[in-house]
């Protein structure tokens, strides 16, 4: 009985240790990642050199782009590629990596504006990846652009609005610019816009969401931020999240949600009060100074705790002071009547000390630093008296018994014969969803779009990370769909079954019109839970061996004692 009590105590201690480990806070790993190069504006993510490691694109001095390539040795991101041009009289406002000419090599598209004007037209440059040349293509857009595959060939095309408010699309296949009208009638699109290329009706074919000037917004809203699209409540459909200000000074802020096909706006966060301090969103400047980057109120989304419901990072400012910080918004169960129709809501993590230790935060986003499927954080902060931003990297030490699946959908323009790259380039447009049964036997759904938005430093990741919660079961069904040409009625969708949790799936949709021929490469990502389980198992085995050894030793002593007593016994029968 005493042995079992001791075993239970050891097991309880192991579980407690694992829990303490998993609940640890964020860890600052800036020096490990960048060394002394942690300055600039993080603008995009992508695998530039095709080594299956995500690289970071950073703007410096407003007119230079530096690509930090991932490395296996510290610092883990090193500045290797510099993109600039002599007498470059522009500031870079956006960076969008992708394959624009269909050669399966990653190119880099830059949106720029004149340094001398704060609201000049947008011009586009393309840095071709295979010959490392920067080429000026065209100008005349009055807003940031959206990338989407209009003709379903998985090569991103450029969608924008010209000066006469007509929408145009530019195809760059073969590096020859071909212009066509995009929409049948002129529309007046908001500046800044929230255009997206996302599947809103779950038919695995992305549609174009365009926010126009007369679009429906919640009542009593004075300022509108950038729309985001995410499966907020785990029903498999993409929901529309909208951060807003209820007054001109943004002293009263809120986040609203609209479900596909429904006109109602549901508040999912209205409480920005922390003790005696009221926080609110940082409004976009109406007339920013020339040469300064200016972005709308933006939610950067990601599943921080892998529970299957996306969380958010946002910048808030003290309405009674001048300080602003980055905050984590956790997706939790709804606890009030206003959000009961959705079932979920955001809750601000006020006591996240690691984020609060970064003063003057301007941008915060998620990023899988160590390619382990756990979303870490990157924060840009503005230091007084200095130009540019300082970059902070925070490792997410969350290690609870939760699981994930990480999916990367490539262009599928080729399979095993791609020039210099055996796979391809991840492109905007793919849609990923799964259905499975959780540990309680209930059906669980989740979905996400890959690179659905590209404007205003959206900082979307070139892959999707879907949390599975605490269910260690195989993923029952994983679906991947890609855009199809206009008029084509055959849905381009493929299903994979029995996907192992904590794995990375690279999908190659080649050829596009034959989903059954698509291939997928599965890479396992062992987590620290496996290590802790192994340690606990080894500890139990060692404990049992010690008990067996002690019992064996006691039995041997008893045998020796009995033999000695037998040797000294007086045998009367011998007399």
Lowest-pLDDT range of 220-229, 335-344, 518-527 = 518-527
The pair of three-digit structure tokens given for residue 388, joined into one six-digit string: 């540019």
Burial class from Cβ neighbours inside 10 Å (0-12, 13-18, 19+) for residue 227 reads: buried
Q: Average pLDDT of the chain?
A: 81
Length reported for the chain = 575
Residues 70 and 102 in one domain: yes
Q: List 380's β-bridge partners, or say none.
A: 363, 391
Burial class from Cβ neighbours inside 10 Å (0-12, 13-18, 19+) for residue 409 reads: buried
Q: Is 513 within the bounds of a domain?
A: yes
Query: Cis bond leading into 528, ω under 30°?
Result: no
- pLDDT above 70: residue 139: no
**Close Cβ partners of 553 (under 8 Å, ≥ 6 residues apart):** none
Give the pLDDT of residue 59: 92
Place of tokens 């704060």: 118
Task: Give the pLDDT mean for 272-301.
Answer: 77
Q: Nearest Cα to 457, choosing from 527, 364, 542?
A: 364
Residue 513 main-chain phi, psi, to 5 deg: -90, 10
Task: Give the pLDDT mean for 140-161.
Answer: 77
Q: Which residues of 304-338 are buried (b: 16+ CB within 10 A; e: fewer)?
A: bbbbbbbbbbbbbbebeeeebbbbbbbbeebeeee
- Rounded to whole angstroms, the Cα distance separating 432 from 449 reads 6
Q: Are strands 403-409 and 464-469 parallel, antiparallel or unpaired?
A: antiparallel
Positive/negative CA dihedral, 353, 370, 332, 381: positive
Question: pLDDT confidence of 131, banded at 50, 70, 90?
Answer: low
Positive/negative CA dihedral, 29, 32, 36, 42: negative
Q: Is 3 within the bounds of a domain?
A: no
Specify the higher pLDDT residue, 185 or 323: 323
| CATH number of the structural domain spanning residue 76 | 2.120.10
Task: Give the pLDDT mean for 132-141.
Answer: 63
Kindly provide the residue ranges of all beta strands, DSSP E only, lying in 412-536, ordered along the sequence.
431-437, 443-449, 464-469, 475-481, 493-499, 503-508, 519-524
Residues 387 and 420 in one domain: no
Q: Is 313 within the bounds of a domain?
A: yes
Summarize pLDDT for 428-457 with one digit per residue, the tens: 888 999 988 877 778 888 898 888 888 778
Summarize pLDDT for 173-221 with one digit per residue, the tens: 777 777 777 777 666 676 677 777 777 777 766 554 444 434 578 888 8
Give the pLDDT of residue 289: 53
Residues 392 and 410 in one domain: no
Residue 549 main-chain phi, psi, to 5 deg: -60, -40
Residues 143 and 62 in one domain: yes
- Rounded to whole angstroms, the Cα distance separating 1 from 7 reads 10
Provide the 8-state DSSP code for 517.
Answer: G
Neighbours of 81 (CB within 10 A): 17
Specify the higher pLDDT residue, 115 or 262: 262
Give the pLDDT of residue 163: 67
Please give the tally of structural domains in the chain. 3
- Rounded to whole angstroms, the Cα distance separating 456 from 94 reads 6
| CATH number of the structural domain spanning residue 519 | 2.60.40
Torsion of CA 512, 525, 331, 248, to 10 degrees: -70
Q: Is 5 left (phi over 0), alpha (psi -120 to 50) or beta?
A: alpha
Question: pLDDT confidence of 11, banded at 50, 70, 90?
Answer: very low
Q: Is 4 within the bounds of a domain?
A: no
- pLDDT above 70: percentage of residues in the chain: 82
- Rounded to whole angstroms, the Cα distance separating 84 from 231 reads 38
Question: pLDDT confidence of 31, banded at 50, 70, 90?
Answer: very high
- Rounded to whole angstroms, the Cα distance separating 479 from 435 reads 9
Residues 512 and 430 in one domain: yes
Q: Are strands 344-349 and 361-367 parallel, antiparallel or unpaired?
A: unpaired
**Close Cβ partners of 298 (under 8 Å, ≥ 6 residues apart):** 225, 226, 228, 243, 314, 456, 457, 458
Q: Is 12 within the bounds of a domain?
A: no
Residues 65 and 50 in one domain: yes
Q: Is 21 within the bounds of a domain?
A: no
Per-residue HEC secondary structure of 2-44 comes to HHHHHHHHHHHHHHHHHHHHHCCCCEECHHHHHCCCCECEEEE
Question: pLDDT confidence of 20, banded at 50, 70, 90?
Answer: very low
DSSP string, 107-167: EEEEEEEETT-SSPPEEEEEEETTTTEEEEEEEEESS--EEE-TTSSSS-EEEEE-TTS-E
Last residue of a domain, one of 368, 396, 424: 396
Residues 365 and 432 in one domain: no
- Rounded to whole angstroms, the Cα distance separating 93 from 139 reads 14
Last residue of a domain, one of 343, 370, 396: 396
**How far from each other are the two terminal CA atoms of the chain, in whole angstroms?**
49
Residues 412 and 437 in one domain: yes
Residues 278 and 350 in one domain: yes
Give the pLDDT of residue 293: 56
Neighbours of 406 (CB within 10 A): 22
Q: Is 516 within the bounds of a domain?
A: yes
Specify the higher pLDDT residue, 161 or 502: 502
Question: pLDDT confidence of 303, banded at 50, 70, 90?
Answer: very high
- pLDDT above 70: residue 107: yes
Task: Give the pLDDT mean for 307-334.
Answer: 90
Place of tokens 């600052």: 28
Q: Is 232 within the bounds of a domain?
A: yes
Residues 61 and 104 in one domain: yes
Specify the higher pLDDT residue, 131 or 394: 394
Specify the higher pLDDT residue, 115 or 305: 305
Give the pLDDT of residue 13: 47
Residues 480 and 420 in one domain: yes
Tell me how far the alpha carbon of residue 530 is from its chain's centroid: 24
- pLDDT above 70: residue 19: no
Question: pLDDT confidence of 316, banded at 50, 70, 90?
Answer: very high
Which residues span the domain enclosing 562?
535-574
Residues 263 and 388 in one domain: yes
Q: Nearest Cα to 197, choosing from 209, 212, 182, 188?
A: 209
The pair of three-digit structure tokens given for residue 205, joined into one six-digit string: 């074919």
- Rounded to whole angstroms, the Cα distance separating 176 from 170 reads 9
- Rounded to whole angstroms, the Cα distance separating 281 from 330 reads 17
Lateral strand order in the sheet of 361-367: 27-28, 389-395, 376-382, 361-367
């Amino acid at each position: 009985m005493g042995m079992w009590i001791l075993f239970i105590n050891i097991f309880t201690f192991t579980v407690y240790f694992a829990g303490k480990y998993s609940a640890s806070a964020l860890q600052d790993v800036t020096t490990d990642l960048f060394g002394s190069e942690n300055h600039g504006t993080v603008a995009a993510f992508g695998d530039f050199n095709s080594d299956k490691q995500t690289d970071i694109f950073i703007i410096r001095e407003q007119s230079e782009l530096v690509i930090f390539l991932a490395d296996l040795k510290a610092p883990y991101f090193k500045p290797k590629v510099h993109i600039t041009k002599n007498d470059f009289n522009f500031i870079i406002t956006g960076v969008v990596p992708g394959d624009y000419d269909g050669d399966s090599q990653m190119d880099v598209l830059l949106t720029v504006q004149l340094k001398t004007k704060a609201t000049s037209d947008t011009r586009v440059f393309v840095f071709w990846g295979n010959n490392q040349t920067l080429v000026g293509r065209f100008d005349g857009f009055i807003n940031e652009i959206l990338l989407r595959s209009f003709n379903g060939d998985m090569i991103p095309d450029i969608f924008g609005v010209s000066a006469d408010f007509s929408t145009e699309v530019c195809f760059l296949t073969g590096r020859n610019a071909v212009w066509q009208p995009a929409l049948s009638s002129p529309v007046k699109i908001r500046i800044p816009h929230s255009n997206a290329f996302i599947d809103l009706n779950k038919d695995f074919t992305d549609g174009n969401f365009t926010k126009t000037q007369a679009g429906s917004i919640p009542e009593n809203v004075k300022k509108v931020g950038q729309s985001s699209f995410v499966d907020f409540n785990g029903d498999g459909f993409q929901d529309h999240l909208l951060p807003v200000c209820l007054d001109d000074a943004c002293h009263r802020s809120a986040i609203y949600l609209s479900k596909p096909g429904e006109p109602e706006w549901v508040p999912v966060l209205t409480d920005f009060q922390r003790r005696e301090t009221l926080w609110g969103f940082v409004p976009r400047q109406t007339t920013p100074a020339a040469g300064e980057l200016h972005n709308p109120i933006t939610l950067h989304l990601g599943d921080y705790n892998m529970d299957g419901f996306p969380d958010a990072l946002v910048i808030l400012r003290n309405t009674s002071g001048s300080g602003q910080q980055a905050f984590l918004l956790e997706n939790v169960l709804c606890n009030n009547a206003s959000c009961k129709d959705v079932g979920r809501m955001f809750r601000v993590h006020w006591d996240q000390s690691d984020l609060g230790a970064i003063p003057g935060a301007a941008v915060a986003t998620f990023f899988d630093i160590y390619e382990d499927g756990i979303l870490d954080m990157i924060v840009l902060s503005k230091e007084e008296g200095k130009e540019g931003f300082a970059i902070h990297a925070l490792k997410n030490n969350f290690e609870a018994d939760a699981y994930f699946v990480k999916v990367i959908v490539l262009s599928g323009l080729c399979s095993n014969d791609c020039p210099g790259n055996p796979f391809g380039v991840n492109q905007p447009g793919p849609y990923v969803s799964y259905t499975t049964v959780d540990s309680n036997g209930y059906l669980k759904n989740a979905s996400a779009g890959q690179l659905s938005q590209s404007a205003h430093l959206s900082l979307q990741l070139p892959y999707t990370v879907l949390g599975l919660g605490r269910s260690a079961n195989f993923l029952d069904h994983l679906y991947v769909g890609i855009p199809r040409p206009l008029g084509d009625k055959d849905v381009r969708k493929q299903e994979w079954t029995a996907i192992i949790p904590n794995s990375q799936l690279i999908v190659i949709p080649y050829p596009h019109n034959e989903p059954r021929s698509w291939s997928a490469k599965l890479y396992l990502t062992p987590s620290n839970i496996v290590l802790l389980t192994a340690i606990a198992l080894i500890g139990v085995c060692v404990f049992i061996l010690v008990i067996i050894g002690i019992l064996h030793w006691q039995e041997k002593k008893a045998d020796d004692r009995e033999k000695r007593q037998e040797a000294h016994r007086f045998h009367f029968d011998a007399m």
